[in-house]
Amino acid sequence: MSQESTAVLNNPSAALARAAKQLDPVSEPRAVRWLLIGVALAFLAFFLVVPLAAVFVEALRKGVGFYFESLADPDAWSAIKLTLTVAVIAVPLNLVFGVCASWAIAKFEFRGKALLTTLIDLPFSVSPVISGLVYVLLFGAQGWLGPWLQDHDVQIIFAVPGIVLATIFVTFPFVARELIPLMQAQGTDEEEAARVLGASGWQIFRRVTLPNVKWGLLYGVILCNARAMGEFGAVSVVSGHIRGVTDTMPLHVEILYNEYNFAAAFAVASVLALLALVTLALKLLAERHLAAELAGARDDVPAHAGPVAVISSKS
């Protein structure tokens, strides 16, 4: 037996460490690494940082006074309130749907499970404009349910309910898509153990399942809220662009820009940009907590423990 084989048998961990070091992709030449990092940073700066900074520069081009006057305009204030109202309604509904759908898909086997999983991804593949047209076809004055709605004095299209429906459609996958893989990885061992110990379904969800997916749930809610406040395509179809009534912030920015009121348009756009930055900060916070939670779970589990033990240690 060669000396190298003997060394591997005597100290297998050191041999594995040397093999991992040899396969480490960070061992690429420094010039290649800096080139790739530079290309990525240049791309982000050109397509993200510079345009975002330009929004704030243009918003303040006529001074801070004009900036706040633009935001205090009744139409702008109405658009801000409507955007927040729609998000407050749509996000909790999507939260309930996402939890229920992910729970059903991850924990149960039933006929039509694959179809449900596929339908959850439908808004990702369908243009928002098409989804808006679908609601017009259903609830518009000439739509399938339009005459019945008119007879009962119910207005959905060109009103707030239509905007909420369109927003729900384009945002409902986010929470479910974050929770499904987490719940599938969690498995059912903890729930079954809790049920054997006499816990009710609500107690199992609140004390076992929810703590394991709480940061993923928050992450999905953040993404859902960001999309809800920034949605343009579907909302533009069902809103009717009624100024001061059914215009959300993205629609109001478009109106101001088309009227060549650029400073006011960028002032309202800067609010959306600020909301996006806040969303990004919350997203990073959720990711950090989730990563720390997973790392802590791995550290608390012995090396011989399986994946089920890793998951169980988080609760």
Q: What's the pLDDT at 291?
A: 72
CA–CA distance, 82 with 80 (Å, rounded to integer): 6
53-100: pLDDT as tens digits: 999 999 999 999 999 999 999 999 999 999 999 999 999 999 999 999
HSE-up (13 A, CA, CB side) for residue 240: 16
CA–CA distance, 281 with 293 (Å, rounded to integer): 18
Task: Name the percent of the chain lying above pLDDT 70.
Answer: 83
- Residue tagged 């927040």 (tokens): 84
Task: Give the DSSP letter of residue 47.
Answer: I
CA distance readout (Å), 18 to 9, 10, 12, 89: 14, 14, 10, 55
217-244: pLDDT as tens digits: 988 998 999 999 999 999 999 998 888 8
Task: Give the DSSP letter of residue 205.
Answer: I
User: How many of the other CB atoms lie within 10 Å of CB of 266?
Assistant: 24
Fold of the domain spanning 74-294: MetI-like fold (1.10.3720)
Q: What is the pLDDT of the chain when averaged over all its residues? A: 83
Q: What's the pLDDT at 277?
A: 87
Statement: residue 33 has pLDDT above 50? yes
Lowest mean per-residue pLDDT among 76-90, 180-194, 252-266: 180-194
Q: For the chain, what are the domain ranges?
A: 74-294
pTM score, whole prediction: 0.78
Q: How confident is the model at residue 297 (pLDDT cuts 50, 70, 90)?
A: low
